Structure 1
Amino acid sequence: MIQPRVATMGVRNIPEAWVRETQPTGIIRATLRGWMRSLGLVRLVVDDEQTATGRFIAGEPHFMIARQQDAPQSLGMLPGLEDGTTRTTPHGPELLRIYDSGFVAQLAMPNARFFTMQADDGPVNTYVLDSTNDSFAVLSPDGDGWTVRQGGPVPLWDAVERSLTL
């Protein structure tokens, strides 16, 4: 009987060494966790070619992220008020805080983090920043809806919206 490997820490991706060290038909169960603190439990089976495939499974993993995978201290640069392009969006920042949609959003922009901050005498905006490539999205309330201003090489909020429709 092959014993499964169970990781008791969250990781941003499954290390290749775990796959190499697992016998064919062996199971890897781990918490995938990103810098936005959303997480999911994955169950992978290793095949004869040392490839791991599987699915996310039900359950609420509660492991903290491995120290060496913590986010960089710098969030990146705040965009200027005129940077990027603006459009309306059907999704506000609440989807980043909901378990399922937050995890999907994190998969769509794995190097991003978000925070809220009030503009000078204005609304509370949510900033999504990717410190690895200087991409950004700024979500602002607009009456009953939201606008997003995004820029950089990767349109972050477009990636989130695409991931939610898959």
Structure 2
Amino acid sequence: MRHIPYGWLDQVGDGGTVLVTLGGWMGAYGLVKLTVTGRGHATGRFLPGTTSFMIARSHGRPPRPPLLLLPGQTTTTKIPAVLLDDWTGRWVAQLAAPSAERLGGGDIQVLSDVATGSLAYFGADEKGQTQVTQRGAVPLWDRVTDALAEWKTAGAPHQSGSGITITPDAQTVWIGSEDGPSWRLPV
């Protein structure tokens, strides 16, 4: 699931438990154990390991239009794309850009936002520095690097050091504690 359906919380009721894989289109996911704390409210922590269930069909990626790596704004990035190969790094990136799909690996990667058509893609300049080109309405790599910087400042904890708080207004994933770095899920 990309988010928790509120109907599930109502069906389970106060004090009940929901165990679900939260994932996204960058291929990162985490198993979270939630406790329902009221109507439309729940809280829980991500569990260690890589247990997963198949993504719900209704939460799958929509069809991808043809991918064209057209020119855009190119800059040198201090955070290499290879950090997206790290399990928790990719998961944090996915939280920052929840409608983006990740293609490739290592230094050759593309982030494609299927909702807005925005792109970020990587290459090396003549000095071997990683260059990122961004185009579209959403500066994908800027959002991702900001999130990765927050994660690193928090000590770069494993995903199991994170949790989620659900209210009727938002579903928020956080690092460390509810007042730590956080991102809203696409509900």
TM-score range, shorter chain: 0.7 to 0.9
C-alpha distance in 1, partners of 2:56/2:144?
25
C-alpha distance in 1, partners of 2:9/2:132?
40
**Residue 115 (structure 1) aligned with residue 103 (structure 2):** yes
C-alpha distance in 1, partners of 2:86/2:120?
18
CA contact (8 A) 1:76 1:129 kept: no
Which letter maps to 1:148?
Answer: V
**What is the TM-score when the length of structure 1 is the normalising length?**
0.79
Alignment of 1:50-69 (within 5 A): 50-69=40-59
Moved over 6 A (4+): none
Which residue of the partner structure matches residue 157 of structure 1?
A: 141
**Residue 146 (structure 1) aligned with residue 136 (structure 2):** no
SS of alignment partner, residue 104 of structure 1 = helix
CA contact (8 A) 1:75 1:130 kept: no
**Residue 12 (structure 1) aligned with residue 2 (structure 2):** yes
CA contact (8 A) 1:76 1:130 kept: no
1:91, CA displacement in angstroms? Answer: 2.2
Which residue of the partner structure matches residue 89 of structure 1?
A: 77
1:135, CA displacement in angstroms? Answer: 1.1
- Taking only the aligned residue pairs, the percentage that are identical comes to 37
Which residue of the partner structure matches residue 177 of structure 2?
A: none
Unmatched tracts of structure 2, length 5 or more: 151-187
**Residue 134 (structure 1) aligned with residue 117 (structure 2):** yes
Which residue of the partner structure matches residue 120 of structure 1?
A: none
Cα distance per residue 1:37-90 (max 9 Å; x no partner)? 111111221112431122222222232212222211215642423xx2111112
SS of alignment partner, residue 53 of structure 1 = strand
C-alpha distance in 2, partners of 1:58/1:130?
28
Which residue of the partner structure matches residue 30 of structure 2?
A: 40
> Which structure has the greater CA radius of gyration?
1
CA contact (8 A) 1:75 1:129 kept: no
CA-atom RMSD, angstroms?
2.0
**Which structure exhibits the higher relative contact order, with contacts defined as CA atoms closer than 8 Å and separated by 6 or more residues?**
2
